[in-house]
């Protein structure tokens, strides 16, 4: 047996939870290993001292000290939680609520009415905005280009 395993078994033996086989295995190791035997004697002595020592009397003001500490921890916990509900943060909730509601409505509408399929054909429409400027300087003529899925009047699809 390795000494690490014997230390585990020593702890279990102090708590009296060893099986008879484990107890025999530990006792055999303690007969062979001087270091573990010395450690076992120290553990048994410590256990005996702890069992026979009277508990120290509690200070008379222990309960008020502990209760004050518990109240301080509770105040800190509540303060940390309520930090987001303070008046200076309420405006954020008031400001974001309409935006969230709007996004939810848009999302529902998109979910119910998916985006329509793009048209099969797209028509180009080019317009010259001022014919007088075109005659004077055709390269500077303002031109607008539009895309449309609606065919021109009289054009067959």
Tell me the pLDDT of the chain (157 aa) as tens digits. Answer: 789 999 999 999 999 899 999 999 999 999 999 999 999 999 999 999 988 888 888 888 888 899 999 999 888 776 655 555 566 667 777 788 888 899 898 888 777 776 666 666 665 555 555 555 555 555 555 555 555 556 556 555 5
pTM of the entire predicted model:
0.38
> Contact 133/141 with Cβ under 8 angstroms?
yes
Domain boundaries, the chain: 3-52, 118-157
């Amino acid at each position: 047996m390795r000494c690490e395993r014997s230390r585990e078994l020593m702890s279990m033996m102090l708590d009296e939870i060893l099986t008879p086989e484990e107890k025999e295995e530990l006792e055999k190791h303690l007969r062979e290993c001087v270091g573990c035997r010395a450690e076992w004697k120290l553990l048994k002595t410590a256990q005996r001292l702890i069992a026979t020592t009277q508990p120290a009397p509690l200070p008379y003001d222990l309960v008020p000290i502990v209760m004050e500490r518990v109240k301080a921890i509770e105040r800190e916990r509540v303060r940390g939680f309520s930090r987001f509900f303070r008046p200076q943060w309420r405006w954020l909730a008031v400001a974001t609520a309409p935006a969230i509601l709007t996004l939810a409505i848009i999302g529902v509408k998109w979910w119910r009415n998916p985006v329509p399929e793009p048209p099969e054909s797209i028509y180009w429409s080019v317009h010259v905005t001022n014919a007088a400027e075109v005659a004077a300087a055709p390269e500077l003529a303002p031109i607008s280009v539009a895309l449309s899925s609606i065919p021109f009047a009289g054009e067959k699809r």
